């Protein structure tokens, strides 16, 4: 037998503090696999440790607590920047912000906790439990977290493998959730092979399987799923570095407009991109001379300027938008996936008090049309997305394969000098790899970057600096398998595996 048999009385006892501590610390360890550290083997080791702990018990309660401990270590470390946005910039009292951050991370920790409980309750063979049920449960849990209550897919474990891990090669086929599943499968194989009482052949086969996953992914990294389309385009990404507590003060508006006008005028690039809400005025309040000046600059360079600003009216419907000005007729994109409590208040009758506690300007945006088309600007077909939107891969591909390049504009000043800007940039790297398109990121305080179609950062600006990032980009045509299928491909595979688990699981349940 590949693991030591646990008697039923031991299985019913509470899990020991030492096991919970090990699980919690292994969750902390996994965060180092994400940006800015990029130590991609560590999440593999972390999950192998977690899965090894889970398979030592048949107690549903123990499995739940072990998974919960891992989730608390992981999310309290990796998503600690929520406190910064609530307390430092949202104006929430420190104690209340700390409590809200803990409760939010505890809610996220329920997903690995439920995986731990499920694997303990499902009466299938030990091999199926470790090598199939746990990886499958992990992948499905991350996918559900990506859409439940509008979704929070931040730190899906598959992101940690971009751009250097061999498993990143699977991203153009199965997307981030498929990579998460494969990473969990590799971790389960390591846990299976590391069982001291298991036979030597078991360890050998586990090693061979992990090696095969890596070799397969590395081979896929060499495939060019898309092809260059048209001539290259010169670009400039402007990082204004406007402090968040100054951004919306009326007395600072003139200085902000002047900073971006000066940086734009200094660039000869055909496509100049400003960050999310770079111009802190409604489009209707933008002075004519300023707007005309940007149009003239774009025409002078033979291209366009793309800037973020709110459109509509504070007294009616208004949008978080990007607007193009220059050679082409003016075009715009309205943000579709809004941030709950940051950009809109769900169930206002119940949660309206949040507006009174948090000092968030413009917190009731309207949603844009999900079927907006790419912007024909700067010689490219631009799939624009705003801030949080590029963490949803299946939403990004709505504008593909028509778009030739991806552009994300963000304002991450809300999160200060934390992991958030780096983690967000890594998710943009995944979007580039999934779609086979270059990604441009123009941000207020960082991380402003040019990312190639393989998910590699070609150039970036240091965070919290004012500057312009210049470079050349290539548009791409064609579709990766992920662009064609989205998450449907991996969901169908999971469905088949789930049916395979369901039948023996039902049969063996007492």
**Residue 409 is part of a domain; what is its CATH number?**
3.60.110.10
Check 105, 335, 389, 454 and give the catalytic one: 335
Which residues sit opposite 408 in a β-bridge? 385, 441
Is residue 211 located within the same domain as residue 277?
no
Is residue 93 located within the same domain as residue 201?
yes
What letter would DSSP give residue 131?
I
CA distance 128 to 446: 44
Q: Which pLDDT band, with edges at 50, 70 and 90, does 85 fall under?
A: confident
pLDDT at 69 over 50: yes
Is 389 a residue of the active site? no
Is residue 179 located within the same domain as residue 259?
no
CA distance 443 to 409: 6
Is residue 310 located within the same domain as residue 206?
no
What letter would DSSP give residue 399?
G
pLDDT value, residue 220: 97
Which residues sit opposite 333 in a β-bridge? 322
pLDDT at 367 over 70: yes
**Buried b or exposed e, range 254-269, using 16+ CB within 10 angstroms:** eebbebbeebbeebeb
Residue 383: count of CB within 10 angstroms of its CB: 28
Please report whether residue 3 resides in a domain: no
Q: Which pLDDT band, with edges at 50, 70 and 90, does 12 fall under?
A: very low
Q: Which pLDDT band, with edges at 50, 70 and 90, does 2 fall under?
A: very low
CA distance 115 to 85: 30
What letter would DSSP give residue 503?
H
What letter would DSSP give residue 130?
I
Please report whether residue 481 resides in a domain: no
Cβ–Cβ under 8 Å, residues 460 and 448: yes
Chain centre distance of CA 234: 27
Domain count, the chain: 2
Please report whether residue 212 resides in a domain: yes
pLDDT value, residue 201: 79
Q: Tally the C-alpha atoms within 13 A of residue 356's C-alpha that lie toward its C-beta.
A: 5
Check 142, 276, 389, 394 and give the catalytic one: 276
CA triple 474-480-484, angle to 5 deg: 125
Please report whether residue 289 resides in a domain: yes
Range name among 260-264, 296-300, 361-365 with the lowest pLDDT average = 361-365
Check 387, 389, 453, 454 and give the catalytic one: 387
Q: Which pLDDT band, with edges at 50, 70 and 90, does 7 fall under?
A: very low
Please report whether residue 7 resides in a domain: no
Give the DSSP H/E element, type plus range, for residue 265.
helix 253-265
* Pair of tokens at residue 352: 């309206």
pLDDT at 173 over 90: yes
pLDDT value, residue 506: 55
Cβ–Cβ under 8 Å, residues 305 and 297: yes
**What tens digit of pLDDT does each residue of 467-509 get?**
999 999 999 999 999 999 999 999 999 999 888 877 765 555 5
Is residue 319 located within the same domain as residue 464?
yes
State the distance between the two ends of the chain, measured CA to CA, in whole angstroms: 22
Cβ–Cβ under 8 Å, residues 236 and 461: no
Beta-sheet strands, E only, within 327-390: 332-334, 375-377, 380-386
Give the pairing of strands 332-334 and 375-377: unpaired
Give the DSSP H/E element, type plus range, for residue 496.
helix 488-508
Q: Which residue has the higher pLDDT, 363 or 124?
A: 124
Per-residue pLDDT, averaged over 208-213, amounts to: 95
pLDDT value, residue 347: 58
* Domain region containing 462: 227-476
Query: Which of 153, 142, 69 lies closest to 391, judged by CA?
Result: 153
Q: Which pLDDT band, with edges at 50, 70 and 90, does 26 fall under?
A: very high
What percentage of residues in the chain have a pLDDT greater than 90?
Answer: 75
CA distance 221 to 213: 12
CA distance 172 to 164: 14
Q: Tally the C-alpha atoms within 13 A of residue 273's C-alpha that lie toward its C-beta.
A: 36
**What tens digit of pLDDT does each residue of 390-426 get?**
999 999 999 999 999 999 999 998 898 999 999 999 9
CA distance 430 to 164: 11
Which residues sit opposite 334 in a β-bridge? 321
Is residue 292 located within the same domain as residue 376?
yes
Is residue 209 located within the same domain as residue 317?
no
Please report whether residue 10 resides in a domain: no
pLDDT value, residue 8: 40
Q: Which residue has the higher pLDDT, 51 or 196?
A: 51
pLDDT value, residue 351: 55
State which of 11-15, 46-50, 195-199 shows the largest mean pLDDT: 46-50
Is residue 451 located within the same domain as residue 304?
yes
Is residue 249 located within the same domain as residue 160?
no
Instruction: Give the SS3 label for residue 384.
Output: strand
52 Cβ contact list (under 8 Å, min separation 6): 191, 194, 195
**What tens digit of pLDDT does each residue of 96-111 get?**
999 999 999 999 999 9
Is residue 313 located within the same domain as residue 407?
yes
Q: Which pLDDT band, with edges at 50, 70 and 90, does 10 fall under?
A: very low
pLDDT at 385 over 70: yes
Is 105 a residue of the active site? no
Is 247 a residue of the active site? no
Is residue 374 located within the same domain as residue 455?
yes
pLDDT at 194 over 70: yes
- Crossing angle of helices 200-221 and 171-193, rounded to 10°: 160
Is residue 459 located within the same domain as residue 493?
no
What letter would DSSP give residue 361?
S
**What tens digit of pLDDT does each residue of 286-313 get?**
999 999 999 999 999 999 999 999 998 7
Q: Which pLDDT band, with edges at 50, 70 and 90, does 9 fall under?
A: very low
Please report whether residue 94 resides in a domain: yes
pLDDT at 344 over 80: no
Which residues sit opposite 324 in a β-bridge? 306
């Amino acid at each position: 037998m590949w693991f030591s048999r646990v008697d039923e009385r031991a299985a019913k006892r509470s899990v020991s503090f030492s096991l919970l501590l090990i699980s919690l610390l292994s969750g902390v360890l996994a965060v180092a696999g994400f940006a800015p550290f990029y130590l991609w083997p560590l999440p593999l080791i972390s999950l192998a440790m977690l899965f090894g702990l889970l398979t030592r018990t048949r107690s549903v309660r123990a499995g739940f607590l072990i998974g919960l401990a891992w989730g608390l270590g992981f999310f309290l470390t990796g998503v600690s920047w929520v406190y910064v946005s609530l307390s430092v910039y949202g104006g929430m009292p420190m104690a209340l912000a700390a409590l809200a951050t803990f409760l939010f991370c505890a809610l996220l920790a329920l997903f690995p906790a439920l995986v731990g409980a499920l694997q303990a309750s499902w009466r299938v063979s030990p091999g199926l439990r470790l090598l199939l049920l746990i990886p499958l449960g992990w992948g499905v849990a991350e996918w559900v977290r990506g859409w439940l209550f509008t979704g929070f897919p931040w730190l899906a474990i598959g992101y940690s493998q971009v751009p250097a891990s061999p498993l990143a090669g699977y991203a153009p086929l199965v997307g981030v959730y498929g990579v998460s599943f494969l990473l969990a499968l590799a971790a389960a194989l390591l846990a299976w092979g590391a069982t001291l009482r298991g036979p030597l052949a078991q360890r050998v086969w586990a090693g061979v399987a992990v090696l095969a996953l890596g070799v397969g992914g590395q081979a896929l990294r060499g495939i060019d799923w898309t092809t260059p389309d048209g001539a290259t385009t010169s670009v400039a990404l402007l990082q204004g570095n406007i402090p968040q507590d100054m951004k919306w003060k009326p007395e600072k508006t003139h200085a902000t407009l002047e900073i971006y006008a000066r940086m734009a005028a200094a660039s000869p690039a055909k496509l100049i991109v400003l960050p999310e809400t770079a111009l802190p005025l409604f489009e209707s309040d933008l002075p004519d001379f300023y707007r005309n000046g940007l149009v003239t600059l774009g025409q002078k360079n033979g291209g366009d300027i793309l800037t973020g600003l709110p459109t509509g009216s504070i007294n009616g419907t208004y949008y978080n938008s990007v607007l193009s000005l220059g050679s082409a007729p003016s075009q715009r994109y309205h943000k579709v996936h809004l941030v709950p409590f940051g950009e809109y208040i769900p169930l206002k009758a119940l949660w309206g008090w949040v507006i009174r506690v948090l000092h968030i300007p413009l917190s009731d945006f309207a949603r844009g049309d999900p079927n907006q088309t790419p912007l024909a600007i700067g010689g490219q077909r631009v799939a624009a997305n705003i801030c949080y939107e590029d963490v949803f891969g299946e939403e990004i591909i709505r504008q593909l394969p028509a778009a030739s390049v991806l552009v994300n504009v963000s304002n991450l000043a809300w999160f200060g000098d934390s992991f958030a800007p780096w983690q967000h940039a890594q998710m943009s790297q995944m979007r580039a790899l999934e779609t086979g398109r270059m990604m441009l990121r123009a941000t207020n305080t960082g991380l402003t970057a040019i990312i190639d179609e393989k998910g590699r950062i070609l150039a970036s600006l240091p965070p919290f600096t004012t500057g312009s990032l210049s470079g050349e980009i290539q548009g791409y045509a064609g579709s990766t398998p992920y662009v064609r299928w989205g998450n449907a491909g991996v969901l169908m595979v999971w469905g088949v595996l789930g049916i395979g688990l369901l039948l023996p699981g039902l049969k063996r349940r007492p």
